[in-house]
Chains A and B, each alone.
Chain A
Amino acid sequence: MTSSPKDIIESLVFISPEPVSLEKIQEVMTEYSKEEIERGLAELLEAYSSRNRGIRIEKSAGGFLFVTEPDHDPWIRRLLRASRKNKLSPAALETLSAIAYHQPITLAEICSFRGVDASHSLRTLLQKKLVKIVGRKKSAGKPLIYRTSKRFLTYFGLDSLNDLPSQEEISKLLDEDQDEENKEPSA
């Protein structure tokens, strides 16, 4: 056993189809102590942060994953023959935002927050696997309960739900908007 924990972790992060968590790494690397693994991970992150490379390691959805250098996007798109990524529609984003900040949530609750029927956009989000069904509410009609998924975190580059834009950030944005409105009246 001559491989260093740092290199093994690098392989694990590389091959994992989704962010691999420290717990998962420990589960797999039974021959190594917790301290060795943690040190290896720190070394790995250090190595990647100090070098200019085509890939980076990011912490996302409670785990680690490789992401490509943003500047290299044009060439990757050419390789994958992907013209551009599809943005979420305004309706889908609104529904997603309502779910993210008020989860666990039912469809009826989402609709009441948005003031419109959200079933279509919810279906889109389920298809994109950005939200998931976590159960049924013990109330009349037993409606399904929804939560955001791990993919949601990775999609927005968040480590956990705590990294969602905070109430302060939101208030700040609203204040800015208000100021802007006062300065130049909209047409």
Chain B
Amino acid sequence: MDASKDYQINLDVFQGPLDLLLFLIRKKKIDIHDIPIATITREYLVHLETKERINLEREAEFLLMASLLIYIKSQMLLPREKAFEEDEDPRQILVNRLLEYQKIKAACTLLREREHKEFPKWKRTSLPHYVIQDDIELTEVSLFSLAEVFFLLMKKKEQDNIKILRGKDYSLEEKMKEIVAILEEKDFLDFKDYFESQETIGEALVAFFCMLELIKAEIIIAVQDKLFQTIKVWLRRKRKP
């Protein structure tokens, strides 16, 4: 039941120009080894035109086949002294491709049957795939269960009896103002001294970022008289508006 349904879908959406050609050949009951090129080309083009759902990506491939058909016809129309030998027939390339494609299609049908037969058997080799699929399927957690887990974790934390000492939060903006204020008062800052005067590493880091920021904004200037001497930070006299 299932298979016949699939088959119809396949006819509806052709897998490619070879698929369509094969369908037309069967429909017209044409001998694949002796294809009337003119007839089949006409049929083929009519089908392309009437096809409602044109897949633009595939269109080029269908047109390529149409041009091949017309090329073959033109080859056959050219006057010749002798009739074609069998292996000289311009249709031969197409016939070979069609025969090969027909085999692939038939093999598909047989493989599809096998696939169908194997599906209800579960194997360890096929499992990981499904585990992954399952992972993607996210389940929504309610607010209450989230809160529950959160409070459980908090309780656990209390029992752990670990105190985390949190330092002050430093804002870049405040620190920058502080640096500028100091500079306005003292003319210059000793880079090293200033960092050592900071309470924590965190504060020192923030101070460093502030300096970089101020340098970039051309509000302050960092200078070093000689190599390995301390860096001094000056306020630029002319501030940009």
Q: With an 8 A cutoff between CB atoms, is A141 at the interface?
A: no
A115 contacts B16, C-beta separation under 8 Å: yes
A186 contacts B26, C-beta separation under 8 Å: yes
- Within 8 Å by CB of A186, from B27, B102, B114, B133, lies B27
Given contacts A65-B125, A174-B106, contact A90 B10 (CB under 8 A): yes
CB distance from B226 to the nearest CB of A (A): 59
CA distance in complex: A71, B97 (Å): 41
Q: With an 8 A cutoff between CB atoms, is B51 at the interface?
A: no
Q: Can you list 9 A-B contacts with CB-CB less than 8 angstroms, sorted by A residue number? A: A65-B125, A67-B121, A70-B120, A90-B15, A97-B107, A115-B97, A155-B118, A174-B106, A181-B26
Among A21-29, A31-39, A44-52, A79-87, the one that faces the other chain is A79-87
Given contacts A87-B115, A165-B110, contact A182 B15 (CB under 8 A): no
CA distance in complex: A68, B125 (Å): 12
Given contacts A115-B17, A173-B106, contact A93 B61 (CB under 8 A): no
Known pairs A96-B111, A116-B16, A186-B27. 14 more at Cβ < 8 A? A17-B125, A65-B125, A70-B120, A73-B122, A82-B133, A93-B112, A101-B103, A114-B104, A115-B18, A116-B61, A157-B118, A158-B114, A164-B107, A173-B110
A67 contacts B123, C-beta separation under 8 Å: yes
Q: With an 8 A cutoff between CB atoms, is B58 at the interface?
A: yes
A169 contacts B110, C-beta separation under 8 Å: yes
- Note all chain A residues with C-beta closer than 8 A to B109: 173
Q: With an 8 A cutoff between CB atoms, is A76 at the interface?
A: yes
B58 contacts A116, C-beta separation under 8 Å: yes
Q: With an 8 A cutoff between CB atoms, is B119 at the interface?
A: yes
- Note all chain B residues with C-beta closer than 8 A to A151: 125
Main secondary structure of the interface of B (DSSP, over half): helix
A157 contacts B110, C-beta separation under 8 Å: no
- A-B contacts counted at CB < 8 A amount to 136
CA distance in complex: A66, B122 (Å): 8
B124 contacts A18, C-beta separation under 8 Å: yes
Residues of B within 8 A of A (CB): 6, 9-10, 15-19, 26-27, 29, 57-58, 61, 65, 97, 100-112, 114-115, 117-126, 129-130, 133-134, 137
CB distance from A114 to the nearest CB of B (A): 6
B121 contacts A70, C-beta separation under 8 Å: yes
Q: With an 8 A cutoff between CB atoms, is A10 at the interface?
A: no
A97 contacts B108, C-beta separation under 8 Å: yes
- Note all chain A residues with C-beta closer than 8 A to B103: 101, 167, 170, 174
Given contacts A88-B115, A170-B103, A186-B27, contact A94 B108 (CB under 8 A): yes
A94-147 interface with B by 8 A CB criterion: 94, 96-98, 100-101, 112-117, 128
CA distance in complex: A7, B27 (Å): 58
A115 contacts B104, C-beta separation under 8 Å: no
- Note all chain B residues with C-beta closer than 8 A to A164: 107
CB distance from A90 to the nearest CB of B (A): 6
Among all A-B residue pairs, the 10 with the closest Cβ atoms: A73-B120, A116-B16, A165-B110, A70-B120, A115-B18, A67-B121, A68-B122, A115-B16, A97-B107, A170-B106
Given contacts A93-B111, A94-B105, A169-B110, contact A81 B134 (CB under 8 A): yes
CA distance in complex: A168, B71 (Å): 34
Most buried by B among A16, A65, A165: A165
A155 contacts B26, C-beta separation under 8 Å: no
* Residue in B closest to A174 when the chains form the complex, CB atoms: B106
- Within 8 Å by CB of A156, from B6, B26, B118, B130, lies B118
- Note all chain B residues with C-beta closer than 8 A to A169: 110
CA distance in complex: A137, B135 (Å): 38
B108 contacts A93, C-beta separation under 8 Å: yes
CA distance in complex: A76, B127 (Å): 11
